[in-house]
Amino acid sequence: MNFHRFAQKALIFVCGMTTITGFSQDAVQLTLDDAIAIALKNSLEIQIARNDVEAAELMNHYGVAGGLPTVNATLGNTQQVMNIRQKLQNGTNIERDGAAGNNLSSGVVASLVLYNGHRIVSTKRRLEELKQQNEELLLAQIQDLIADVSTAYYDIVRQQSYVKTIVQSILASEKRLEILEARRSAGLANNADIYQAQIDINTAKQLMMNQKLVVDVAKTELLRLMSEDPSIELEIADTIIVSKDLDLNEFLEKTAKNRQIRASENQIRISELVQREIAAQRYPTVRLNAGLNYTRNQSAAGFNLLNQSFGPNVGLAVSIPLYNGEAYRRQQQAAGVEIKSARKRKEILERDFKSEVYKTYHAYKNALSQLETEIKNYRLTEELLNLTMQRFELIQATIIDVREAQKSFEDAGYRLVNLSYAAKAAEIELYRLANELN
């Protein structure tokens, strides 16, 4: 067996690239775009956030703010039995026990606020800000979900690459065992070397079983993010391609557009409008009232046997708050404190997001710089393992040389895929902070 051909099949993960084989025909092929689309469609958290937006849109109405007329209909009917004792000025005395009486009243009353210190305007603007805030939070949650799905997806690619590396390690150990058995047939090898080669194969197979478990766990996590059945078999054959031209200043500028920061700006305006609503309660309220009333009072005895009225009415009502134990003033002061807190919370978000951009970008650059070196190391260890196996076949290298070359090749493969994943994860996080994940 030409070991150079074997080495060419080993860990196809140069420049962060990998392919996966060996899945069952029943496995579902999944790309990153598919995973994101399914997650966005199925996410229960996204559905709740959308419901919040819908509820805020429904509440954003002048009627909810109190700017539209209110119309009420009333109807009352009272039946009564009375004992009547009346003395009139003309000397007539009326005495009646058990006299029946009936009072009937009905009406339609409409009321419209003409002025209340612009409280209605402030309330309507607050409802609009709440709607916009819920939209920003929804978009922020979408960005978070895309980032989580992308990171989980590439983690599967990374873990599967570990399986690939272990498979190549097993192939190398099997080739070594094959050479040793051929030597023993010629009387040039002892059983100890053969036993050690077999032990190495068994150890690698156990390691592969453990790593496949890690892959299964990673796939289950991706399915959870997609809100899909965890029993689904996934086939993921993809590459990790890292952008190499990300600019720190661009991300710092774009961080100000982060949806969570914009939602915090909405919260500041909401707090300011709440303060205006409270302040408006200290102003007079002017209402326009209009109605149509019908009343009918009937009695079996007494001076008035029947009194009936029907007709419209219209008028103005003015309510002036004079004193309420300083409740409005203190509520207004408390609302002012809440405005300060909302501004501080925005500053905290800006501080933390800016710090996160710096940390993530440094991690990205560090992984990227190491990745270039590790690609070279991987190629060198691949050539070293190929050369060592050739020398081992010619009895010019020892078992220890082969094992050292094999370990160097495995370690380089692990480091390469880890660095590729770390750089990609940092790239995804930067785009999430900049609100640019599509």
Q: Where are the domains of the chain?
A: 3-433
In whole angstroms, how far apart are CA 355 and each of 9, 230, 244, 270? Answer: 42, 36, 21, 27
Residue 107 pairs with which residues in a beta bridge?
A: 74, 293
User: Cα(315)–Cα(1) distance, rounded to whole angstroms?
Assistant: 105
Q: How far is CA 183 from CA 189, 191, 201, 404, in A?
A: 5, 11, 18, 21
Q: Which tokens in the block code for residue 126?
A: 């607050």
For residue 233, give the amino acid letter.
E
3-state helix, strand, coil in the chain (%, to 5): 60, 15, 20
SS3 311: strand
**Whole-number Å distance between alpha carbons of 373 and 377:** 6
CATH 3.40.250.10 holds for 3-433: no
7-39 exposure pattern, b = at least 16 Cβ within 10 A, e = fewer: beebbebeebebebeeeeeeeeebeeeebbebb
Residue 291 structure tokens = 């109605």
| DSSP class per residue in 376-416 | HHHHHHHHHHHHHHHHHHTT-S-HHHHHHHHHHHHHHHHHH
Cα torsion 373, 374, 375, 379 to 10°: value is 110
Query: pLDDT by residue for the chain (438 residues), tens digit each?
Result: 333 333 333 323 323 333 333 334 467 899 999 999 999 999 999 999 999 999 999 999 999 999 999 999 999 888 887 777 777 777 777 777 777 878 888 999 999 999 999 999 999 999 999 999 999 999 999 999 999 999 999 999 999 988 888 888 888 888 888 888 887 777 766 788 888 888 888 988 998 999 999 999 999 999 999 999 999 999 988 888 898 889 999 999 988 889 999 999 999 999 999 999 999 999 999 999 999 998 888 776 666 677 788 889 999 999 999 988 889 899 999 999 999 999 999 999 999 999 999 999 999 999 998 988 998 998 898 889 888 888 888 888 888 888 888 888 888 888 999 999 999 999 999 999 999 887
Does the predicted TM-score (pTM) go above 0.85? no
With H, G, I as helix, E, B as strand and everything else as coil, classify residue 68: coil
